[in-house]
Structure 1
Amino acid sequence: MDIDTSVISAPFVKFDPNTWASFKHEDEKLTITENELQKFMAFNDKLSLEDVKKIYLPLSSLLRMYFISRHDRLSVIQKFLGFPMDSVPFIISISGSVSVGKTTTAKLLFELIKQWPCKPKVSLITTDGFLYPNAYLEEKMLLGKKGFPVSYDSKRLISFLLDLKEGKPNLKVPVYSHLTYDIVPDSYTIVDRPNVLIIEGVNVLQDATEYPEFRKRAFISDYIDYSIYVDADEKYLMKWYIDRFLKLKDEAFHDPNCYFHKYANLPDENAASIAKLIWEAVNHSNLVENILPCRNRANLILKKGKDHHIEEVYLRK
């Protein structure tokens, strides 16, 4: 059953793409080429340079203003205290459902932010690295809940964000492989005191529900400076998921190391049926129970239409 994702019940101002495009600042120049855009676009996603100009350049301008404002507030605190304080990373989160295009949004903003006049040091991570390994999930009979709050080591994720905000260097983030569908043993992304960190994942607006000592008291978003939710109606999300599943079946699934290798030689009709079942059993439930209820906690919502293009932008007042 489809759910109504059209109700946005928080103090947001809604803009159409043309109005939103008018907010681009003159010093925000598009330096990304079509070839570069294709390289970092997520699998099966769609994005044009015109989308970048109309939606993402103004968003980059807004984020830069928040970034500068945060440093201005730090100067006020230093003046009040009478001694200097180290600057802490400005953290931007990208949330939304499976298959909505979070990865493309995160990678695009990563490229745009690097081009700010101040040339900040930018890092990009995904909360997939904080999923429990499959062996642990199997032991706890939670593999069917992968992507749900209980499947993440939220205590470790929150500890990472706290260490990041305290300015600790060379922090380790575990690497997750979408090929093997598991954490890669002894493999890490190093985050070394960036000026800006982009963190992408379905759970970045949620709390640490599986830890009684954190429940209702520690939200991942408590450590986020600006949060973005990428939105779309569920009927589109499911279609994009099935389309992606079919493309992967013809490509990545043929790798013997792929977790979904057993589906590689299925007829498209059978594979589409399996993808639909996975969506209904796992992704639909996670969307309704955990992801969508947190949408209105975001600072900005990007609402996509059926062709992946942004049709509405909601800015929190």
Structure 2
Amino acid sequence: MDKISSSGLSPYRFYSAQEWGAFRANEQLTLGEEEVQRLRSLGDTIDLDEVARIYLPISRLLASHVESMQTLFRERQLFLRQPDSRKTPFIIGIAGSVSVGKSTTARILKELLARWPNSPQVDLVTTDGFLYPNAVLEAEGLMQRKGFPESYDVAAILRFLSDIKAGAPEVRAPVYSHFVYDVVPNEFITVDRPDILIFEGLNVLQVREMPKDGKAVPFVSDFFDLSIYIDADEADLRRWYISRFMRLRETAFRQQGSFFHRYSKTSTDEAMAIAGSLWTNINARNLYENILPTRPRADLILRKGGNHMVEQVALRKL
């Protein structure tokens, strides 16, 4: 997997992890080590130093963007002579491959942003809940393409984000269970006019074929005010995925009711082979066909090294 170009023609400015860390300025880290350990996903090696070096400066940048957007919104309302007291939430999209650490990044940023002096309300929603239920995927022959763009109810995602951006109260998002590997029937989370919404998922920067007649075709990313792509070499992604699979085989998969319970009964060699096959036939295909091609659309790209730590930050030029 090629790295993004750092040539003079690139629309990004590139910073090493050390250079990026200087942008925290004098901001104090408000998270503790125990909180970071609670927020990180299985297999993610993020620690307090990484949060201070990478994620605290990102939260500072995002807080600045949110404040600027709110000012622009008020100025536009005055210009249009349409006073409106409703909040227009700032929406952050986070994309990247399976096992790259999207969930950890989203949770860390949610906590950091909520602790800025003005104490904004920050909500986090993942696209998992917008997957079609397994029964639908099975009927359509899509279970082996779960996580691919066609396995999501895109219309429902667009309605959700449109309502959020319009400042609608109590917008509901469906809930997904990784334990049973399916959408939970009749269970929802309610998002009530947050200042910031973090929307995380594999394909949130995905585009579709443009219409020949010029009709408006909304993309999920049209509702984002800023987007983040988390990047890593495919060999590292594969290694992290298999490692996580093997650890889950010794923990969650052993519980009755787990969708993957059958894998806890296989030998170590069989489990390794299964994990490798799942990566090659599903996740790697989705990565190269759908996820990686969206990387150039992101405003901020976090490039991880083999130790799961961010080694480079690319920020789109203004």
TM-score, normalising length: structure 1: 0.95
Aligned twin of 1:163 = 163
Aligned to 1:80: 79
Whether the 8 Å CA contact 1:8–1:296 is kept in 2: the answer is: no
Change (3 A) 1:93 1:19: same
Cα deviation, residue 214, structure 1: 11
Is the Cα contact below 8 Å between 2:87 and 2:193 reproduced in 1?
Answer: no
- Is 1:6 aligned with 2:15? no
Q: For residues 215 and 131 of structure 1, do their structure 2 counterparts lie closer, same or farther at Cα, with a shift above 3 Å needed?
A: farther
Q: What displacement does 1:74 show?
A: 1.0
Deviations 1:162-198 (A, max 9, x none): 0111111111111000011000111111111111000
- Aligned partner letter, 1:131: L
Tell me, what secondary structure is at the counterpart of 1:22?
Answer: helix
Once the two structures are TM-superposed, the CA of residue 7 in structure 1 deviates from its matched residue by 3.2
**Structure 2 counterpart of 1:36:** 35
Identify if the C-alpha distance between structure 1 residues 199 and 8 changes in structure 2 by more than 3 Å, giving closer, same or farther: farther
Moved over 6 A (4+): 211-216
* 2:299 equivalent in structure 1: 299
Structure 1 gaps of 5+ residues are none
Task: Give the SS at the match of 2:259.
Answer: coil
Are 1:290 and 2:290 matched, yes or no?
yes
| Partner of residue 233, structure 1 | 233
Scaled by the length of structure 2, what TM-score is found?
0.94
Q: 1:116-172, CA deviations, whole angstroms, 9 ceiling, x for partnerless residues?
A: 111001110100010000000000011111000000000100111001111111111
Whole-Å separation in 2 of the counterparts to 1:178 and 1:207? 26
- RMSD value over aligned CA atoms? 1.8
Number of residues of Structure 1 aligned to a counterpart in Structure 2? 312
User: Aligned runs of 1:117-128 on 2, under 5 Å?
Assistant: 117-128=117-128
Give the gaps of 5 or more residues in structure 2: none
Quote the residue 2:16 is aligned against. 16
Q: Which residue of 2 aligns with 1:252?
A: 252
Q: Deviations over 1:93-130 (max 9, x none)?
A: 11100000000000000000010111001110100010
Cα offset, 1:259, TM superposition: 0.7
Q: How far off is 1:208 after superposition?
A: 5.4
Q: SS of 2:23's equivalent?
A: coil
CA distance in 2, matches of 1:64, 1:188: 28
8 Å Cα contact 2:305-2:311 kept in structure 1: yes
Shift of 1:82: 2.6
Question: How far off its partner does 1:75 sit?
Answer: 2.0
Q: Are residues 159 and 275 of structure 1, via their aligned partners in 2, closer, same or farther at CA, if it must alter by over 3 Å? A: same
Q: What is the aligned-residue identity percentage? A: 46
Write out aligned runs for 1:59-98 (5 A): 59-85=58-84, 86-98=86-98
Deviation at 1:219, TM superposition (A): 1.3
Q: After the TM superposition, which residues 267-286 of structure 1 pair with which residues of structure 2 at under 5 Å, given as runs?
A: 267-286=267-286
Q: Structure 1 8/132 Cα, relative in aligned 2: closer, same or farther at 3 Å?
A: farther
